[in-house]
Amino acid sequence: MAMNNIPSVDLSDFLSDDPKRKQQFVEKIGKAYEEIGFVSLKNHFLSDNLVEELYKEVKAFFDLPVEVKKKYVREVLGGQSGYMSFGKEHAKGKKEGDLKEFWHFGQEPSEDAALSEEYPQNIQVEELKDFNHTGMEAYRMLEKTGIYVLRALALYIGLDEFYFDKWASNGNSILRPIHYPPIKEEPKGAERAGAHGDINLITLLMGASTGGLQVLRKDGQWIDAIPQQDELVINVGDMLERLTNNKLRSTIHKVINPPREQWDKPRYSIPFFMHPRSEMPLNCLEECIDENHPKQYEDITAGDFLHQRLVEIGLIKK
C-alpha cells in the first residue's frame, strides 16, 4: 500500500522505562527514515503555551515596517543571524527566489562548550522585548527534542546511543521563523519554498499543520505531510544521509502555493535546523558500508559541507 501521509511516532515511547516500547520507537522511526525520510512526532518538549507565545512574537516581528526589519539584516553573516528579506533565498538549482522572509536565531553555547569556532551573536530586536527570550526558549526545547531523536537513530544504526550528543550539543543549529506573505500576483514559477533537501542532520518543523508542505515519495509522487496540530514534523537532512551512506533518506520536499482563493492568507512555519559542530566528520559510517552498499561519498567535515551548500543556495558568496 502506498504511503499517503508521513508516519507518526510518540517520543514518550522512547522515554519510557519499558525497553520494548523504546525499541519499538527506534524501529519505527528508523524504518520511516529509510523509507520516506519524514515523521511527525508527538509528546516533544515544546509546551502549547511556549508555541503560542512564539507565534505571537514572530507575527509581531514580521508585522513591523519593512524599514525597521531591514535594520536587522547582516549580509556579512551569510544569513546565520538576523533578518533575511523577501525572495533572498532560492532552492539549489533554481534562480527564482522563494516567496518568504525569515529570521534566524543561532546557538548561544554553554560556557563549558569548548568550541573550535565562534558563532555569531544573536541580534536583539529592540522593538519587541520578549522576542529574543521566547525564541531562545523554543530553541532549547527543540534542541533537546532533536538530541533524543538522534539517540534513537544512533541505536537504529548500531552506534552507541549517545554518539551524536557531543556533536549536536552546542552545535551550529538555527531556529528559523518564516513568514510567507499573502500572494498578490501570479508567482511566475516561484513557490513558497522550492523543492529541496535540507543541509543539516535533522530538521524539526513547527507549523506544518497549516498545509502546503509536500514530500516526494520514492515512486516520484508528491504527498501532503499533514501532522496533527500538536506534532512536530522531523526529517532527515543531507548531512545524516551522507553520514549513513544513504541508509537514512534526505527526502526532497517543498511548500506549494495555496489555491488562488487562499492567496490572501499568510503562512507561518518555524523549522529548527539541527547542525552539529563544524568539526564533526561526515565520513560514511562503517556500520552503513558493506559489499551491497559501497561507500558513496568523499570524506568531509560538517563545516566544509555547510559552506558549500550555503554558496549553492545563494546565502553566501564563494
Q: Is residue 278 part of a domain?
A: yes
Q: Is residue 260 part of a domain?
A: yes
CATH number at residue 133: 2.60.120.330
Query: Of 161, 139, 88, 145, which is closest to residue 310 (Cα–Cα)?
Result: 88
What predicted TM-score, i.e. pTM, was given to this entire model?
A: 0.90
Q: Is residue 30 part of a domain?
A: yes
The number of folded domains in the chain is 1
Q: Is residue 3 part of a domain?
A: no
Q: Is residue 11 part of a domain?
A: no
Q: Is residue 10 part of a domain?
A: no
State the pLDDT at residue 271: 95
Could you list the pLDDT tens digit for every one of the 318 residues in the chain? 345 688 999 999 999 999 999 999 999 999 999 999 999 999 999 999 999 999 999 999 999 999 999 999 887 655 567 998 875 544 455 444 457 899 999 999 998 888 888 888 999 999 999 999 999 999 999 999 999 999 999 999 999 999 999 999 999 999 999 998 887 777 666 666 678 889 999 999 987 656 788 999 888 889 888 888 889 999 999 999 999 999 999 999 988 777 777 777 888 889 999 999 999 999 999 999 999 999 999 999 999 999 888 888 777 776
State the pLDDT at residue 61: 97
Q: Is residue 12 part of a domain?
A: no
Q: Is residue 2 part of a domain?
A: no
State the pLDDT at residue 1: 37
Range of the domain at 86: 17-107+115-312
